[in-house]
Structure 1
Amino acid sequence: MTPKSGVLLLGSCIAAIAGVGSVFELSSGTPELGSLPTSIILTVSIPLTIVFFWLAVQDTRANMK
């Protein structure tokens, strides 16, 4: 693993945690940040999780050759 892929995996983990936290906040009925900001965090964090993970895998594969 390269430092770049490690940072990308870290970003993926943080985005995933933010997404899960947003789901729990929204399901509680009264999100601390409000419904709109929490929904925005959720909609941004899901694609970011996927993109960061995919980029980390691509970087690792490129450096294995």
Structure 2
Amino acid sequence: MGMTPKSGVLLLVSCVAAIAGVGSVFELAYGNPKFGELATALILIGSIPLTGYTFWEAVKDTRANFK
């Protein structure tokens, strides 16, 4: 087997959170953020651990299904 639906959803969340983090960096660095500075900074702060956690959980779930 390989990737399960749970692994796929976790990987999807990780990718979306990473994209949100990169977008937040650009919004903060290059002008007037669309959602305001505070909201954009909170998105950035939240997306960093969410990206790492969901990616790690997806890897663990996928590895568990290879046994």
Normalised by the length of structure 1, the TM-score is 0.97
2:20 match: 18
Segments of 5+ residues of structure 1 without an aligned counterpart are none
What SS is found at the alignment partner of 1:64?
coil
- Letter paired with 1:30: N
Shift of 1:48: 0.3
**Shift >2 Å, 4+ stretches:** none
| Equivalent residue pairs, number | 65
- Residues 1:52 and 2:47 aligned together: no
Aligned Cα RMSD in Å? 0.5
Task: Choose between structure 1 and 2: higher helix proportion.
Answer: 1
What SS is found at the alignment partner of 2:65?
helix
- Letter paired with 1:21: G
| C-alpha separation in 2, matches of 1:19 and 1:51 | 14
> Identical aligned pairs, as a percentage?
71
